[in-house]
Chains A and B, each alone.
Chain A
Amino acid sequence: MLENLSERLQGIFSGLRGKGRLTEDDINQAMREIRMALLEADVNFKVVKTFIANTKERCLDAEVLESLTPAQNVIKIVLDELTELLGRTDSKLVLGSRIPNVIMLVGLQGSGKTTAAAKLAYRLLQENHQPLLVACDVYRPAAADQLETLGDEIGVRVYRGEGTDPVKIATEGIRDAIDSLRDVVIIDTAGRLHVDEEMMAEAENIKRAVKPDQILMVVDAMTGQDVVNVAAAFAERVDFDGVIMSKMDGDARGGGALSIKQVTGKPIKFISSGEKPDSLEEFHPDRMAKRILGMGDVVSLIESAAKIEAEEMEAEAAERMMRAQLNLNDFLDMNKQIRKMGGVSKLVAALPGGDKAMSQGQVDESALDRMEVIIHSMTLQEREKPDLLNGSRRARIAAGAGVQVSDVNQVIKKFNETKKMMKQFMPADDGRGRKGKKGKKGRRRRSIPGMGSMSMADMKKMQDLFKDLDK
């Protein structure tokens, strides 16, 4: 596993402080680390080369060399450049005035077009559109069935047509949309290899026949170096307008996003992460940049936490948290939420330096279960007012949960730490510092559920990082 880039850069520069001034050599060494980080993230080799050359220029600037914190400055420059290159795009779907609007999806086999089509339809539905899905994959067995099932699930009409001519099905689909009063048509095409002449010609034919307002290419976030060949070929033949990065819920760093942007100039419009229809999210270049550099994606993590929380948590509990008045029931809830987000390990992995902790076996999934058992052995009153827990109560709980008293004490200690931490995070109690960075959710910005089950050291690291980046 790659160590955290910021740590490694700090390592390089820390030995040099005494010299008072950095040399070009030091920057070169830093650039090598960044090059490695980008390559490990599957950014295309050629793109990396250009990127490093450009960034180095900026880093050689006198201000950087003479600053007291060159590591942070270099990282900041790299992040800025990456973010800039990834594009400041508005990832909202721009629909033309034509009715029906036509969106066409293209991509390799297995990139997730059909799933993305359904998600897109769901999104449009939320925006008060009346989408129609058209199944133009006549090759993969049961592909149309798949789209139909997905369409049924979200309540969107699916046109599947007869015969094996995708061009005909596409044009019929548009007619069907007009007949059934739909205002957006999403055409799901078959997966095709960019070197398959016949299939690429077919995509061109579909395009010519339906004149889509927008063509989106679906790209798997795990794609390696080859992504440039694929994207360039698709750009040349069908000239797509934007990209949906799929399978972003995995731990792939998704360097392909940068390569595509660089090679084709096409923006990333959405990221798709998960199996549920509502998991098509807007693209944030700054977060993507951090992810590519292996710096964790804390903001997205917090957002996904906030989302789950909003669904689950009652207003009352939320308010209590705002005031940092936790009780042990909240603690149970948090555990549940951590599970929903994919368990402790996923949480930790999304944090800077988390990979390292994981590989060193510092993360214990079963700790959550133990904690739950212990809390479940308490009376309702005890859960609400943890202060009640005196020695004899603790002994009783330990016996009930089948653990030692020290384990019970551990839970209570962790709980108190969490409570303390909440206080630090909550602006209600403590307005200073670190705002903007951690939660762009605005008014409902709340706790970070589950942070309590992480060690203080991790939290500290995170805070330090924010501080550094904010400079």
Chain B
Amino acid sequence: MGFFDRISEGLSRSREKFKEQMNVLLDRGPDLDDEFWDGLEESLILSDVGASAASTIVENLRDQATRKALPDAYAVLDLLYDQIARTFSEGGENVFGDGAAIVLFVGINGTGKTTTVGKIAKEATDAGRRVLLGSADTFRAAAIEQLEVWAKRANVEICTRERGSDPASVCYDTIERAEQTGADLVLIDTAGRLHTSADLMRELEKVVNVVRKRANMPVYTVLVTDATTGQNGLSQAREFDRALDLDGVIVTKLDGTAKGGIALAVSHELDLPVLKIGVGEGLDDLKDFDPLDFARALVGDLDERD
């Protein structure tokens, strides 16, 4: 229950909506008729998993339902949760584990990178880590000030330079400072950029290279992606992964009605674990990710069955 409760807090609204739809389907009785399958496909598409993925999932399930002689819609849904959960990549490094680490947060504009850095800083500090923030978003107006406010809230030190300076040099300073103070978790916020902007992607590549060269602890790059993002999310993730060799994904803004289904494709295709999910504006609204809970929260709630 523990895990489940936490995630479902933020996802409850999306779940409600989905449940309504599923209930309509389920009320139709346990028959696995065309209407059920079409409805299932529709629900999957509406959660942004993608049209082709949705039809593959449904075909696959349909096939299995026949072969395993599944009795009703509930059994199919059980199978579905299971399969969605298994589709998420689970490998990869333990980015926010106990070991010392430098983590760079990257992504397109407006996904919530700065806010996520702030929340993680708070969480890690509360857990007894020595955190240092680096503000490498020297481009956007007031991005540095925004992170400074978060630093104050989390009561951690922050490294900055004036707006317009070289982001790589901010990272360099930050790492140096981390060595002086003995910080064991360095969180670096970078400027949002569209994955189609070749120059800005090259700049980011350079920043990450500088950090990797200079650092004497493991360096991770984490993509922050917004749950409302549609099919373009995959091409974003691909580009960032190609340029930076990502280590994981954080999905933000799951407290709306968007279901973040594109995260499934991103995690699966690029073999990237989902590290955290953001379910609200509060300081502690960043939750751990559990694939099965995510799948359930996404596609209805088993416990609601009477």
Q: Which of B98-139 contact A (CB under 8 A)?
A: 108-112, 139
Q: Which residues of B contact A220 (CB under 8 A)?
A: 110, 226, 228-229
**A324 proximal to B (CB < 8 A):** no
B:145-163 near A, CB below 8 Å: 145-146, 148-150, 163
Q: Are B146 and A224 in contact (CB under 8 A)?
A: no
Contact A255:B228 (CB < 8 A) given known A45-B42, A224-B262, A249-B197: no
Q: Does B66 contact A (CB under 8 A)?
A: no
Q: Which of A144, A222, A249, A252 has the most CB of B within 10 A?
A: A222
Chain B residues lying within 8 Å of A343, measured Cβ to Cβ, are 198
Pairwise interchain contact B228-A112, C-beta atoms closer than 8 A: no
- Cβ contact within 8 Å between B48 and A251: no
Please indicate the chain A residues that have their CB under 8 angstroms from the CB of B24 in the complex.
Answer: none
Is A226 touching B228 in the complex (CB atoms < 8 A)?
Answer: yes
The reply to whether A230 and B257 form a contact with Cβ atoms under 8 Å apart is: yes
Which residue of A42, A112, A140 has the most chain B CB atoms within 10 A of its CB atom? A42
* Chain B residues closer than 8 Å to A373, beta-carbon distance: none
A342 within 8 A of B: yes
Looking at the assembled complex, report how far the CB atom of A200 sits from the nearest CB atom of chain B, in whole angstroms. Answer: 12
Decide if A210 is an interface residue (CB 8 Å cutoff): no
Q: A146, B45: Cβ atoms under 8 Å?
A: no
Which residues from 1 to 54 on chain A have a C-beta closer than 8 Å to any C-beta of chain B? Answer: 35-36, 39-42, 44-45
Closest to A38 in B: B51
Inter-subunit contact A109/B257 (CB<8 Å): no
| Contact yes or no, B258 A250, CB < 8 A | no
Known A39-B45, A42-B231; contact A149-B198, beta-carbon cutoff 8 A = no
B42 contact set on A, CB distance < 8 A:
45
Contacting residues of chain A (297-349) with chain B, CB-CB under 8 angstroms = 342-343, 345-346, 349
Q: Which of B268-283 contact A (CB under 8 A)?
A: 281
Closest CB of chain B to A398's CB: distance in Å? 28
> Is A263 positioned at the interface, with any CB of B under 8 Å from its CB?
no
A44 nearest in chain B by CB position: B46
Q: Which residues of A contact B150 (CB under 8 A)?
A: 141
By size class, the interface of chain A is: 35 or more
B300 at the interface (CB under 8 A from A): no
Complex contact B196–A346 (CB within 8 A) = yes
Q: Contact between B142 and A146 (Cβ–Cβ < 8 Å)? A: yes
Q: Which residue of B lies closest to A111 (CB)?
A: B110
Write out, one digit per residue, whether chain B residues 214-231 have a CB within 8 A of any chain A CB (1) or not (0).
Answer: 000000000000101111
The listed residue with most B CB atoms (<10 A of its CB), out of A40, A44, A194, is A40
For residue B233, CB closer than 8 A to chain A, the reply is: yes
CB distance from B158 to the nearest CB of A (A): 12
A225 within 8 A of B: yes
How many residues of chain B are within 8 Å of chain A by beta carbon? Answer: 50
A247 touches B257 (CB 8 A): no
Interface hub of B46, B51, B230 (most chain A Cβ within 10 A): B230
The B contact surface, by secondary structure, is loop
Q: Are B228 and A223 in contact (CB under 8 A)?
A: yes
A365 to B256, CA, bound (A): 40
- B13 at interface, CB cutoff 8 A: yes
**A251-B232 contact, Cβ under 8 Å, with A143-B142, A346-B196:** yes
Partner of A230, one of B13, B194, B228: B228
Contact yes or no, A224 B145, CB < 8 A: no
Taking CB atoms, residues of chain B closer than 8 Å to A146 are 140-143, 146
Q: Which residues 119-173 of A sit at the B interface, judged by CB distance below 8 A?
A: 139-150, 153
CB under 8 Å from chain A, chain B span 33-48: 42, 45-48
Contacts A40-B51, A222-B233: A251 and B109 contacting too (C-beta < 8 A)?
A: no
Q: Are the C-beta atoms of B196 and A224 separated by less than 8 Å?
A: no
Is the Cβ of A224 less than 8 Å from the Cβ of B235? no
Interface class of chain A by DSSP: loop
Interface residue B189 (Cβ < 8 Å from any Cβ of A): no
Interface status of B253 (Cβ within 8 A of chain A): yes
Closest to B110 in A: A110
Residues of B within 8 A of A108 (CB): 228, 253, 256
Give Cα distance in the complex from A267 to B106, angstroms: 33
For residue A152, give the distance in angstroms from its CB to the closest CB of chain B. 9
Contact with B along A80-100 (1 / 0, CB 8 A): 000000000000000000000
Residues on A with C-beta less than 8 A from B197 are 249, 342
The residue in chain B whose Cβ has the minimal distance to the Cβ of A349 is: B196
Report the Cα distance A227→B51, complex, angstroms.
16
A342 engages B198 (CB within 8 Å)? yes
Bound CA span A118–B218, Å:
40
Contact across chains for B229 and A222 when beta carbons are under 8 A apart: yes
Say yes or no for B180: interface residue by CB 8 A criterion: no
User: Which residue of chain A has the shortest Cβ distance to B153 in the bound complex?
Assistant: A141
Residues of B242-276 whose CB lies within 8 A of A: 253, 255-259, 261-262
Which B residues touch A250, using CB under 8 A? 108, 194-196, 232, 236
Q: A142-B146, A226-B258 in contact; A253/B232 too (CB < 8 A)?
A: yes
A345 and B226 alpha carbons, distance in the complex (Å): 25
Identify B257's interface contact among A144, A194, A253, A349, CB under 8 A. Answer: A194
Is A229 interfacial (CB-CB < 8 Å)? Answer: yes
Given contacts A42-B232, A146-B140, A255-B230, contact A141 B257 (CB under 8 A): no
For A143, the chain B residues whose CB sits under 8 A away are 142, 146
Taken together as a complex, chains A and B put the C-alpha atoms of A14 and B35 apart, in Å, by 33
Contacts A145-B145, A193-B255, A251-B235: A36 and B48 contacting too (C-beta < 8 A)?
no
Asked if residues B108 and A36 are in contact (CB atoms below 8 Å), the reply is no
Indicate if A195 sits at the interface (CB-CB under 8 A).
yes
Q: Is A256 an interface residue (CB 8 A)?
A: yes
Cβ B230 vs Cβ A42 within 8 A: yes
Decide if B149 touches A41 in the complex (CB within 8 Å): no
A247 is contacted by which of B13, B45, B46, B108 (Cβ under 8 Å)? B108
Closest to A144 in B: B142
In the complex, the answer to whether A225 meets B235 with C-beta atoms within 8 Å is: no
Are B198 and A345 interface neighbours, CB within 8 A? Answer: yes
Closest to A346 in B: B196
> Could you show 21 A-B contacts with beta carbons less than 8 Å apart?
A42-B230, A42-B232, A142-B143, A148-B141, A149-B163, A150-B141, A193-B255, A195-B257, A221-B232, A222-B226, A222-B230, A223-B228, A223-B230, A224-B262, A225-B47, A225-B48, A226-B258, A247-B108, A249-B194, A342-B199, A345-B198
Known: A224-B233, A342-B199. 9 other contacts (CB 8 A): A110-B110, A110-B226, A144-B142, A194-B256, A195-B13, A226-B258, A249-B194, A250-B194, A343-B198
- Give the 5 A-B residue pairs with the shortest CB-CB distance, closest first: A224-B230, A110-B110, A141-B149, A42-B230, A149-B141
